Amino acid sequence: MERKSHMADTEKLLIIGSGPAGWTAAIYGARANLSPVVYVGVPKQNPAPILPGGQLMLTTEVENYPGFPEGVSGPEMMGLFQKQAERFGTRVVGQDITACDFSKRPFTLTASDGSTVQAHAVIIATGATADWLGLENELRLAQMGGGVSACAVCDGALPMFRDQPLAVVGGGDSAMEEASYLTKFASKVYVIHRRDELRASKAMQQRIFDAPNAEVLWNKIPIDVLGDEKCEGVRLKDTQTGEESTLEVKGLFMAIGHTPATQFLDGSGIDLTDKGYINLGDRTSNTNIEGVFAAGDVADADYRQAISAAGMGCQAALDAERWLAAQGIE
């Protein structure tokens, strides 16, 4: 493949990723005259769709982002973020970054079309994707807003789930947190866990054991989601006996973990946690390589909210601006 460069000169600030963190970094970077370029990524399937704009592109209604009192759809919100970033001169490239050479300055990054681009500072904001079981009906209903979701905190308060029986899949802290959150709205919350022991911390487990309308279904895995347009139930299989059963629920929430989008950093020298998230050792957005910053879910296994990702994007742009100024690059 012929190798070319998208940009003639070295970029001052290159941002990888186009979710709330990436666009917020771009807004701040553009307003600081850093003329940022955002590599927004290309659509892919794994097994749920992964789209430029990130996780919010799969979110029907965002009700917890301040400034939208009536709520806003995830895709509309990301469109507004992009428009705001472009208004201040942000440039957008519809490619993934597939490899990074951070060993020499300026840095050299390779895009999915084989082109290379050089940059003085890089902000990584590639996010994390929720893990799904991979069941056909699970993904179909999730994509059509049919009551299957990977974020109870985002979707659980929607009217369709009020006073209904709901289920959460998983046995970790996320599953306990999501289930506990849902107990406030649901008539009943089932936690479907594949073993006879939870992985979650004892305190988080206790919240579920203490909730009068929560129940853990031990040694169960979902094998199908029932319902044409809306979730009507879930088919379960007992992991010990193989016995199958049907659980009638109007909503199914996956909490079986997240995978941060850091595979393209293999061999780049960026320090990752044991779960693959970018390691931010201090309270800044600094990675272990000077001039490379990270923001949003790719560096945050805990909060994973649009508003916290946007806040981290702001921090990363300010850190990058200060670092570039200290290098005499303005």
Pick the closest to residue 225 from 188, 253, 185, 258 (CA basis): 253
* Nearer CB in complex with ligand NAP: 14/254: 254
Token couple for 62: 């965002």
- The answer to whether residue 221 forms part of the interface with ligand NAP (CB under 6 A) is yes
Q: Which of 82, 95, 174, 315 binds ligand NAP (CB under 6 A)?
A: 174
Of 100, 154, 231, 314, the catalytic one is 154
223 and 236 in contact (C-beta within 8 Å)? yes
- Cβ proximity to ligand NAP: between 133 and 158 the closer is 133
Binding pattern for the stretch 131-150 against ligand NAP, x by CB under 6 A and - elsewhere: --x-----------------
Residue whose Cβ sits closest to ligand NAP: 172
Give CA–CA dist 123/291, Å, rounded. 8
**96, 100, 151, 319: which is the annotated catalytic residue?**
151
- Do 141 and 227 form a contact (C-beta atoms < 8 A)? yes
Told to check if 322 binds ligand NAP by CB under 6 A, we report no
**Stretch 177-206 residues interacting with ligand NAP (CB under 6 A):** 177, 194-195, 199
Instruction: Give me the least distance between CB of 61 and ligand NAP, in Å please.
Output: 22
8 A C-beta contact, residue 192 and residue 167:
yes
Residue 173 within binding range of ligand NAP, rule CB under 6 A: yes
Supply the minimum distance, in Å, between the C-beta of residue 257 and ligand NAP. Answer: 4
The separation between the first and the last C-alpha atoms of the chain, rounded to the nearest angstrom, is 34
**Does the annotation count 231 as an active-site position?**
no
155 catalytic? Reply is yes
As a three-state string, the secondary structure of 49-87 is EECCCHHHHHCCCECCCCCCCCCECHHHHHHHHHHHHHH
151 is catalytic: yes
Residue 47 or 89: the one with the smaller Cβ distance to ligand NAP is: 47
- Look up residue 213 and give its two tokens: 């309308």
Query: Which residue's CB is nearer to ligand NAP, number 135 or number 265?
Result: 135
Active-site option among 96, 155, 173, 300: 155
Measured CA to CA in angstroms, residue 231 lies from 115, 213, 214, 248, 314 at distances of 44, 20, 19, 9, 38
* Preceding peptide of 47 cis, ω within 30°: yes
Structure tokens at 130: 């929720």
- With binding defined as CB under 6 A, does residue 153 bind ligand NAP? no
Ranges within 289-318 binding ligand NAP (CB under 6 A) = 301-302
Q: Indicate the residue among 305 and 315 with the shorter CB distance to ligand NAP.
A: 305
Of 17, 57, 32, the C-alpha closest to 145 is: 57
- For residues 12 and 193, which CB has a smaller minimum distance to ligand NAP in the complex? 193
**Min dist. Cβ of residue 241 to ligand NAP (A):** 17
Kindly report whether the peptide bond that precedes residue 106 is cis, defined as omega within 30 degrees of 0: yes
Give residues in contact with ligand NAP (CB under 6 A): 133, 169-175, 177, 194-195, 199, 221, 255-258, 301-302
Active site positions, annotated: 151, 154-155
